[in-house]
Amino acid sequence: MPRYPMQSHKPRLVVQNVSRSFGGRAVVRDLSLVVEAGQLTCLLGPSGCGKSTTLRMVAGVEEPDQGRILIDGEEVFGPGVRLPPEARGVGLMFQDFALFPHLTVAQNVAFGLRKGEGRAARVDELLERVNLSGFQAKHPHELSGGEQQRVALARALAPRPRVMLMDEPFSGLDNRLRDGIRDATLDLLKEEGTAVVLVTHEPGEAMRMADEIALMRDGVIVQRGAPYNVYNAPVDRAAAAFFSDINVIRGQSRGALTQTPFGAFLTPGQTDGAAVDIVIRPQHLKIDFDRAGRGPNPTIQDGTAARGLVTRARFLGHESLVEFRMDHDGSTLTAAVPGVFLPKPGTALWLMIRRDRCFVFPA
């Protein structure tokens, strides 16, 4: 009788409770991660939070003090198991992705491929997909930075790695080139269907590239989720502040309400009498005019309007940034307005806070 065993699902990459210390200081603490084939997870966080160390442990060039790492269900690191980097089936791309200067483009891309049938075809295929058809015989010094980056990507992907590990791969590139190369890279990674871990300290890059963002701080993942969720439901004030400038209004919670010059905010779950921070991103402050002395016209969603004087207004291209000194306490609030909005310093305007766009945290 033939048997058809159920194939249990094995994620492409599993990192389980991995820790690493240097000189007694824990730089990665009990970190766990799952990345499916075809998915891109961004490790996002400030410099020094342990992103590269995490990536290097997955690659096998750094050893965890404890924990397990599995690729397609196979343990590549664990108690008594320590697969060398070349046996893990991972592709690497780092910030300073040096190409071999004495090799041609084709030789660079073919570097990790076994000799034999299909080798040249794979090189040609990848060069075509990074838009470098016809560059086979050129040498790295004949290429622009962006072209070199695409060759490096083709080289890393040529052996069809099970997991692609990328550490700030775009940070050496000209700003104007970056978004185009990011998008082209993402397209190719998706076509190849490899699992990707991409390290970056730039929230914009993570938002643009990631299926899932793992936000790191001090060696720990503090929040993970789709870019939309991490941006719109930050776990704490620092997580909110990592993605944009924020405005903070401090208040005191009483009976699940916090009274502010912008009206009352629902602050359920906060201890009675506890200080709370109401956090709002600049684009979610609403501005209104004096309406010829009749004052502003807030909706229920907007709460109460508070008046401030413009101290500075700047046009940033896609939006204008307007800073206010508030009448009630002299504090500074910043509003971002789409397009051109440049009121003169000293102009009195009214600010409102959209209740569905603010975050409440214990102070």
Ligand X SMILES: Nc1ncnc2c1ncn2[C@@H]1O[C@H](COP(=O)(O)OP(=O)(O)O)[C@@H](O)[C@H]1O
- Using CB under 6 A as the binding rule, whether residue 24 contacts ligand X is answered as no
| Closer Cβ to ligand X, 203 or 263, answer by number | 203
| Closer Cβ to Mg ion, 52 or 104, answer by number | 52
- Stretches 50-58, 72-80, 184-192, 207-215: which one binds ligand X (CB under 6 A)? 50-58
- Stretches 41-49, 143-151, 178-186, 336-344: which one binds ligand X (CB under 6 A)? 41-49
**Residue 49 binds: one of ligand X, Mg ion, none (C-beta under 5 to 8 A by kind):** ligand X
- Using CB under 5 A as the binding rule, whether residue 200 contacts Mg ion is answered as no
Among 49, 209, 285, 336, binds ligand X (CB under 6 A): 49
Shortest Å distance, C-beta 77 to Mg ion? 20
- Using CB under 6 A as the binding rule, whether residue 53 contacts ligand X is answered as yes
| Closer Cβ to Mg ion, 39 or 52, answer by number | 52
Helix (H) / strand (E) element for 241: namely: helix 237-243
Binding mask 49-68 for Mg ion (x = CB under 5 A): ---x----------------
Q: What span, in angstroms and rounded, lies between the C-alpha atoms of 132 and 218?
A: 40
| Closer Cβ to Mg ion, 39 or 200, answer by number | 200
Length of the chain: 363
**Residue 303 binds: one of Mg ion, ligand X, none (C-beta under 5 to 8 A by kind):** none
Shortest Å distance, C-beta 348 to ligand X? 45
Q: In 45-140, where do the E strands start and end?
A: 66-71, 74-78, 81-82, 90-94
Helix (H) / strand (E) element for 126: namely: helix 119-129
Phi and psi angles of residue 17, each rounded to the nearest 5 degrees, phi first:
50, 50
Instruction: Using alpha carbons, select from 179, 214, 177, 220 the residue that is nearest to residue 197.
Output: 214
* Burial (CB count <10 Å: 0-12, 13-18, 19+), residue 252: middle
Type of residue numbered 308? G
Please give the residue ranges that form the binding site for ligand X (CB under 6 A).
22, 27, 45, 47-53
Which residues are near Mg ion by CB under 5 A? 52
